[in-house]
Structure 1
Amino acid sequence: MKKTLVLLALAGALAAPAPAIETTPLQIGIWGPSAQLFPASTRVMGLRLNLVMSANDEVMGFDLGLVGRADRMSAIQVNLANWVETEFAGVSLGLFGQMGSLAGLQAGLFNTVANDLSGFQVGLFNQADSVSGIQIGLINRAVTLRGLQIGLANLVEEGPVTFFPILNAAF
């Protein structure tokens, strides 16, 4: 009888789902949420390596690889493509960068910020909704500007000067 109870308890313990890991110091992604060490809901606090692509809700630390995707990120991000849905704080370097909002530096060939940019954008094409800072590039576009645009074509939709080459400023 004791053996049966022990075997049943052991079987129950083995059959129970393992507790979900909420935070990890290392994430390695091969192809998005379906092929990475931990699920997208796991917070990464440390290093995330994107062999092709990784996707996590939140990343804090260092993000390196081909394509990095997250909902929120506070990090140094170096990828060919950087995609952060809502909030990014830190330094983002890559060929293409798309952020919801940005506090820090975004450098690449094509940079877009859907909402607020507080900091710097450097690239061939820079676009942000509300800019508080500096855009340096061939083409710079903003809906509102509180700062500087330096480039061949500088566009501000809601400004006293909507287009100005070389240098555009609004304070």
Structure 2
Amino acid sequence: MPKRDRLDEFSRRKGQGNLATIVTDLDKSSLLEVIDSHKSDDIITALKQQPQSMREQVEEVSVDMWGGFPKVIREVFPNAKVVIYRFHVQKIVNKALNKIRLKLDLKGLKNRYLLMSNSRNLKAQEQQELAGLLHLSPSLAIAHELKAELISIYESDITPLGGIRKI
């Protein structure tokens, strides 16, 4: 087992709910295993077929926000930290930011684009437009700033504990 794994589910048939679980090596971006189930107990049983000494070497397991993954990690990888995929966290943050935008009646794809984009990827003119939007509402400005701080945590080489402290 590698030191950094990723657990994820996928549907064998789109829209059918026929889920399986994949295990990948994050460092090598290679597939390690496909488990023909997405039930915690089945995943645990399959992963425990690996020797305990190998499973103890895993330091980090990256997962989405499905509630069953923490149980799997505790049972199978006793020394691993759980890391939630950035994509899933950022999706929730963007959804909340978008909700504020809509409550303020700031409709339009341009406004959405400006708020959802990473500020440093915006051109100078777009950054000015964003500043104008944020000036309209303190709540929107705070929410956008918190989003930017969260992105900076994910883009840094900070430890999970350091990230929690920063939040």
Q: Which TM-score tier does this pair reach, normalised by the shorter chain?
A: under 0.3
Q: Which has the higher strand share?
A: 1
Task: Point out the structure with max Rg over C-alpha.
Answer: 1
Q: Structure 2-normalised TM-score?
A: 0.24
Q: Which has the higher contact order (CA 8 A, sep 6+)?
A: 2
